[in-house]
Structure formats: C-alpha cells, structure tokens
Amino acid sequence: MSEGLAPQKGPLPEESAEAPPATVAARLALFQRAGGILTPLATAIVAFLIGGIVVAATGHNPYVAYWDIIKGAGLNWLAHPWQTNTAATDAYNMSQTLLQTTTLILTGLAVAFAFRCGLFNIGGQGQYFVGLFCANWVGVSFVNMTRPAHVVLGIAVAAAAGAAWAAIAGFLKATVGAHEVITTIMLNWVAYWLGQYLFVQGGPLQAAANKPLDVPISGTVAHSAQLPVFWGDPLLQGLHIGFFIAIACLVVFWVLLNRTTLGYEVKAVGFNPAAAAYGGIGVRKNYIRAMAISGAFAGLAGGLDMLGYLFKFGTSDVQASSIGFLGIAVALLGRNSALGTGLAAFLFGALLYGTTHGLQAGVINPSLAGHLTEMIQGLVVLFVGADVLVLYLWNARRRLRRRRLADEVGEAAA
C-alpha cells in the first residue's frame, strides 16, 4: 500500500478543510468554537467592569455596590454553608438566589437545546408564560387530587404546553420555512396578550373571590399542587424541590445530546443539515422536535415558578416578567453546554436577586440597581455577539501594522 508515503504530521494549510490557525485571532476563534472557558469568563468580567464604571459615573462607589450585591445574593453564605437556618440573612438570600437560578437554568436550556439544532429560540418568554398559565389553571382546578398526583399533573401540563407553543415555531420553520426568530418573537406577544386576557377582570383565570374587588389576579394554587419546600419557610418563599428538577434537567440535557440517537440527530442537523439529510436524518422532523424539547424546558420553568412560590399571577405580573429573555444571555454565556448553562444561571440568579433585593438605597440608587442586571445581561449578549467584530478589529490592526512595516522596508530598500 502506501507505506512509502511520507507520514503526514498534520494537515497542511492548503489541503486542509480547516487550516491550522495562522493568526492569534484565528487561534482565539478556534478556541471559542471549541468552547474554551476563557472567553465566557472574560466576557463576564468585562461586563462587570463596565457595569462598575457606570456605577462610578453615577457618583457611587462600585466596590461597595458590588460587595452589597454579593451580600444581597447571599454569596457570603458560602463561607459557612453548614449554617442553613434561613433566619440568617445570608442563608435566606442564598435560598432566594437559588430560586432564581432554578428558573434561569430551565429558560437557559430552552435556548441552548434549540441552538444545538441550529435554531435560535427567542421564544423562551412566551413558552414560560404558557407553562405558567397552565400550571395555574391545573393548580387552581382539580382541588380534590392528592398531593403528589396534583403536583405531577401541574408540572407535566406546564411542560407540555411550553412544548406545544414552541413546536408551532418549529412546525412553521419545517413546513413553510418561516424563520424561528420571527415566529418565536410573535408567539411571545401572543402569550403576553393571552396572559392579559386570562387574568383581567372577568377573565377565564381571574379568581372568583377577587371579582367584587376588581383585582386582575388569578386564584391561588391549591396546597395539594404546591411543590414541597426543602429550604426555608414555605410562607416566606422558601426554596422548593423544583431546584432539583432543574439540576436534573441539566443532566437530561447532557444525556440527550451525548448519549442518545435523538441528540445525534439534533447535533447533525445543527452542524450541517445537508449532511444530515444525506445520512437519512429528517431535518424537518428535527426542527419541530428540537423546538418542542426547548419549549418543554421553558414551560417547565413556568410551571415550577407557579407551583413553587408564585401560586398566583396577575396582569401586572405578566407585564413585569422577563426571566424568559434572560435565558438567552444565560445560554450564550454558558456556550450552550449543560455545565456552562448551570453556572451562568447561578451567576445571573445571584445578580438578579442581589441587585433587586439586597442593595441599600444609600449605597446605590435602587432604580439604578435593578437596571444593573439588565445592563450586564445586555453587555453579555453584546460581547458574545461581538466576537466577529473583535476578530475583525484584531485583523485590521495586524494588516495596518504589516503595511507600515512593508513601507519601511520598501523605503529602506529604495
């Protein structure tokens, strides 16, 4: 055979599909594609630094502000994790941070899973809403059910509703080629107005008991449908077992993608639909299925929130909710991986709770504090999306330097 053929040490630049990166920027890009830990870390740090500059610009001390956020998020509890009594502020704050983390893990996975199939699911918010509405309906109705059954039914219906909602976008993509970004955004608004309709005075889910008072709020989820609280006081919004469901979902996400034929198909379609079709994989089927699984994660988030600590919802809550959108930043920062999504969810959970509840007005203006999370969220999305720009600037700088060098050499030769 070809024993005589000189052994190839590695792909050579001109014959390889993907030449060894010739520039620092290309190596950086390769590293990013490989899911390096460095870039998400750098992204987060730079986002926090810029946030700090903004705090300083408003005349407050950024160090004090960030330290207060850390304390507000209960991160100082990690110094003595054996003291679990939530009567202590730091333990309580941590339980609240983990409550936010639970939701963010799931809305993050909703974006990450679709992404692995090459789809950008912007509809996490809408899918979260329908899960939440359905959980409320199940929790308020069927009051005669026993506890475990009622809880399981509520969760299952919420996940199924989210799946169905997202599958609409997958179906439109598969059949008429409608872009999922557009359709999921539109579905978000449908879910938003659906919520307005459901909870408004006289709406189908507005509580009968509220009606004389004219309050646009739903009924309260029956005790039999409420998730057990394992850390803290159930009356003071303790941490419910949904937290473990979210952690389990991280595992499910990883296993689905790496240990099942379903995940193999999802990734093949995400990387290269033409090759997937050649391999006999139904590309359209996978678009619908991946969206449905994504939607199930987001719907589950809504269900757990409703049955775990919200218990009721009103039209003003619909207007204020944006946790589904935060899932986009979580998935982007987490590089659409299971572990990354978990860590990013914890970071944003801490930030969300630390800025909205932990800060004192003297340290930082409360209205600014709440916006700090949104700002850092925005910066993360911007930086992750700005990879291309950064690489371009890097290359432009190199080109400029090369040209200048060439001019000098040219002059010297002349």
Partner 1 sequence: MDAPIVLELQGITKRFPGIVADDHVDFDLRRGEVHALLGENGAGKSTLMNILYGLYRADEGEILVNGKRITFASARDAIANGIGMVHQHFMLIPVMTVAENIVLANEPTAAGLLLDYKAAVERVRQLSARFGLAVNPEAKVENISVGQEQRVEILKALYRGADILILDEPTAVLTPQEASELFEIINSLKAEGKSIIFISHKLNEVLEIADRITVLRRGKKVDTVLRQGATEAGLARMMVGREVLLRVDKTPAVPGDVLLEIDDLQVEDDRGLPAVRGVSFEVRAGEILGIAGVEGNGQSELVEAIAGLRKPAGGRIRLAGREAVYGNTRKMFDSGLGYIPEDRQRRGLVLEFTIAENIALHDYRLPPDSKWGWLFPGRLVARARQLIKEFDVRGGGPSTRAAALSGGNQQKLVAAREVARDPKVLVAAQPTRGLDVGAIEFLHRRLVEERDEGRAILLVSLELDEVLSLSDRILVFYEGRIAGRHGAAASEEEIGLEMLGARASEAA
CA 140 to CA 62: how far, in whole Å?
A: 45
172: Cβ–Cβ under 8 A, 6 or more apart, which residues?
178, 180, 183
Of the ranges 135-143, 155-163, 327-335, 406-414, which one interacts with partner 1 (CB under 8 A)? Answer: 406-414
Tell me the two tokens of residue 59.
């005349």
What are the distances in angstroms from CA 380 to CA 110, 329, 334, 351, 392? 18, 6, 11, 13, 19
Nearer to partner 1, 12 or 209 (CB): 12
Q: Does 407 bind partner 1 (CB under 8 A)?
A: yes
Q: Does 316 bind partner 1 (CB under 8 A)?
A: no
Q: Does 285 bind partner 1 (CB under 8 A)?
A: no
Q: Does 410 bind partner 1 (CB under 8 A)?
A: yes
Q: What is the nearest approach in angstroms of partner 1 to the Cβ of residue 280? A: 3
Interacting residue with partner 1 among 59, 81, 202, 280 (CB under 8 A): 280
Of the ranges 7-15, 93-101, 154-162, 366-374, which one interacts with partner 1 (CB under 8 A)? Answer: 7-15
CA 309 to CA 288: how far, in whole Å?
A: 31
Do 162 and 299 form a contact (C-beta atoms < 8 A)?
yes
Q: Is 239 helix (H, G, I), strand (E, B) or coil?
A: strand
Q: Does 233 bind partner 1 (CB under 8 A)?
A: no
User: For partner 1, what does the binding mask look like between residues 248 and 267, x meaning CB under 8 A?
Assistant: ----------xxxxxxx--x
Interacting residue with partner 1 among 53, 78, 275, 393 (CB under 8 A): 275
Do 234 and 310 form a contact (C-beta atoms < 8 A)?
no
Among candidates 73, 86, 137, which has minimal Cα distance to 306?
A: 137
CA 74 to CA 122: how far, in whole Å?
A: 30
Nearer to partner 1, 175 or 316 (CB): 175
Q: Does 319 bind partner 1 (CB under 8 A)?
A: no
CA 172 to CA 322: how far, in whole Å?
A: 25
Nearer to partner 1, 223 or 398 (CB): 398
Among candidates 236, 251, 226, 239, which has minimal Cα distance to 105?
A: 251
Q: Does 175 bind partner 1 (CB under 8 A)?
A: no
What is the footprint of partner 1 within residues 14-33 (CB under 8 A)?
14-22, 27
Q: What is the nearest approach in angstroms of partner 1 to the Cβ of residue 25? A: 13
Which residues of the shown chain bind partner 1 in the complex (CB under 8 A)? 1-2, 4-22, 27, 258-264, 267-268, 271-272, 274-280, 402-403, 405-407, 409-410, 413
